[in-house]
């Protein structure tokens, strides 16, 4: 039996890997000269505008058989060249990106409880529980570590880290520098991505312990130091041996911190009440503070919380800038909710003054960077299309890459996958959406789908 379904408000809080939208206010950034500005933009992306942006349903993944009251947390989805990958009940499953046909399955025997978006030639790391929930709905501890090859559909290795004969519980995972690194309240460990060899393990006698790792070409460690009530977080960029190249100490008055991006290095900071308050931009060469971006929780979309299972969704970092969405709001005389995507200069901490308007009646949410450009999702409604748009990093000009008409016969499927409880992935003209929670439909009108894909070539 699965865990009993929680109160909807609690479920949403756990589910949203939410965060806080940065305030719209703030100082305007002083304009830099053209050469300085151009040097800070990333290279071109890989996504191309389809010949026809009109899209339809490619496939859907139905919910697995469920009993009344079943409730499984299932974070994690990835897109490779040929495969869409989604976690399920005690397994990870690969589907053909165009047809949705299942092409492979990796049995885990427990629920995924930690993942990273980072892939290295199709390989990634996951954390999962040591068994499925008991009959009374109690979850097993998050102790199992594995490396997966998502191209081949196989588990490369499985491991756990024991201390005094007991498996260590972890909550966070990162991939970088050829390693799978895991961390939690008991400290951190790293294993070789290729073979699972243990490279380091928690050191409980040390004054500081690793509580999270940021993925990237290398690893960034987020540490906690000191006793509870007098503790302090610090950030370390690690070398190949796991030794710190530098240590940056965050302010003492933080309630919590989370790595948003490893390169550029950006850390989100939370107050004691767990509201996101600031972003710290840290110099990767010097280990010093570049800037601090203050956030107004009331004016920032809740997309980055300490409960996120992975990196903060619904924000993007690139071009030496932080891109965030403002809180959806109503406008006088209009129906629906509108918002903007705004950007902040990581060198100065100031707003750039650029913003992309959601227009219509629904919010606009950053998905990820594609080179110098931001890919964003415009939420579908009964009267407005669901769209994936490219926002030019230089001009903020918007180009529609994918659009599903509200009159499309499968538009209700798209509307079912609402931000907050859904993982969005976009690649090669296809939009993939997956539920974070596996549960029975609330009503007979709710589509019974775990995941779905839309693209320019509808199936059938």
Decide if 217 contacts 179 (C-beta within 8 A).
no
Helix or strand run (H / E) with residue 437 = strand 437-438
Rounded to the nearest 5°, which phi and psi values hold at 342? -120, 165
The strands making up 123-128's β-sheet, listed across from edge to edge, are 112-115, 123-128, 144-149, 154-159
Collect all residues with Cβ–Cβ distance below 8 Å to 330 and sequence separation of at least 6. Answer: 336, 337, 338
**Residue 140 dihedral angles phi and psi, to the nearest 5°:** -80, 160
**Tens digit of pLDDT for each residue in 88-104?**
999 999 999 999 999 99
Of the candidates 294, 299, 270, the residue with the CA atom closest to the CA atom of residue 281 = 294
- List pLDDT tens digits, range 139-196: 899 999 999 999 999 999 999 999 999 999 999 999 999 999 999 999 999 999 999 9
Characterize the bridge pairing of strands 398-404 and 430-435: unpaired
Buried residues in 72-105 as b, exposed as e (16+ CB within 10 A): bbbbbbbbbeebbbbbbbbbbbbbebbebeebee
- pLDDT score recorded for residue 301: 85
Q: What is the pLDDT of residue 419?
A: 86
DSSP assigned state of 215:
-
Following DSSP, what letter does each residue of 346-388 receive, concatenated?
A: TTT--EEEEEEE--SSS-EEEEEEETTEEEEEEPP-SSS-EEE
* Residue numbers of the chain with a pLDDT score lower than 50: 1-36, 458-460
Domains and CATH numbers, the chain: 8-455 (2.130.10.10)
Helices marked H in 214-255: none
Helices (H), ranges, 138-277: none
Strands (DSSP E) contained in 77-149 are 77-79, 83-87, 91-96, 102-107, 112-115, 123-128, 144-149
Task: Name residue 280's beta-bridge partners.
Answer: 267, 292
Instruction: State the residue for tokens 């559909």.
Output: 153
b/e sequence 330-361, b meaning 16+ C-beta within 10 Å: eeeeeebbbbbbbbbbbbbbbbbebebebebb
- Per-residue pLDDT, 259: 94
Rounded to a whole number, what is the distance in angstroms from the first to the last CA of the chain?
37
Closest listed residue to residue 293, CA positions, set 1, 25, 68:
25
pLDDT of residue 311: 65
Coil vs helix vs strand at 86: strand
The total number of residues shown for the chain amounts to 460
Predicted TM-score (pTM) of this structure: 0.89
Instruction: State the Cα–Cα distance between residues 107 and 103, nearest whole angstrom.
Output: 14
């Amino acid at each position: 039996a699965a865990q009993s379904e929680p109160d909807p408000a609690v479920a949403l809080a756990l589910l949203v890997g939410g965060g806080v939208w940065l305030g719209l206010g703030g100082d305007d950034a002083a304009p830099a000269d053209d050469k300085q500005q151009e040097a800070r933009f990333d290279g071109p992306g890989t996504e191309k505008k389809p010949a026809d942006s009109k899209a339809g349903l490619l496939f859907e993944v139905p919910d697995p058989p469920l009993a009344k009251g079943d409730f499984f947390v299932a974070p994690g989805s990835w897109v490779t060249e040929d495969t869409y990958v989604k976690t399920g009940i005690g397994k990870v499953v690969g589907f053909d990106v165009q047809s949705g046909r299942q092409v492979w399955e990796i049995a885990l025997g427990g629920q995924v409880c930690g993942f990273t978006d980072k892939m290295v030639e199709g390989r990634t790391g996951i954390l999962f529980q040591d068994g499925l929930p008991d009959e009374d709905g109690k979850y097993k501890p998050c102790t199992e570590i594995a490396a997966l090859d998502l191209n081949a559909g196989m588990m490369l290795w499985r491991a756990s880290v024991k201390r005094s004969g007991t498996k260590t519980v972890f909550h966070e995972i990162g991939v970088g520098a050829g390693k799978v690194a895991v961390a939690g309240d008991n400290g951190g460990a790293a294993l070789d991505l290729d073979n699972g060899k243990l490279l380091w393990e928690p050191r409980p006698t040390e004054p500081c312990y690793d509580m999270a790792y940021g993925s990237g070409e290398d690893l960034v460690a987020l540490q906690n130091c000191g006793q509870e009530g007098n503790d302090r977080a610090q950030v370390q960029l690690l070398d190949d041996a796991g030794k710190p190249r530098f240590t940056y100490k965050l302010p003492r008055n933080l309630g919590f911190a989370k790595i948003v991006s490893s390169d550029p290095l950006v850390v989100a900071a939370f107050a004691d009440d767990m509201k996101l308050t600031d972003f710290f931009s840290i110099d990767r060469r010097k280990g010093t503070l570049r800037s601090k971006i203050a956030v107004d929780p009331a004016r920032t979309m809740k997309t980055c919380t300490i409960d996120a299972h992975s990196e903060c969704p619904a924000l993007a970092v690139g071009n030496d800038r932080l891109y965030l969405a403002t809180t959806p709001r109503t406008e006088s005389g209009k129906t629906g909710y509108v918002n903007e995507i705004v950007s902040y200069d990581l060198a100065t901490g100031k707003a750039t003054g650029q913003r992309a308007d959601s227009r219509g009646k629904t919010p606009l949410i950053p998905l990820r960077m594609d080179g110098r450009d931001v890919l964003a999702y415009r939420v579908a409604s009964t009267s407005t299309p669901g769209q994936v748009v490219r926002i030019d990093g230089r001009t903020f000009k918007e180009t529609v890459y994918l659009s599903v008409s509200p009159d499309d016969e499968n538009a209700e499927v798209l509307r079912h996958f609402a931000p907050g409880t859904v993982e969005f992935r976009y690649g090669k003209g296809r939009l993939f959406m997956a539920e974070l929670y596996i549960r029975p439909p609330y009503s007979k009108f709710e589509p019974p789908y775990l995941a779905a894909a839309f693209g320019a070539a509808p199936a059938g």
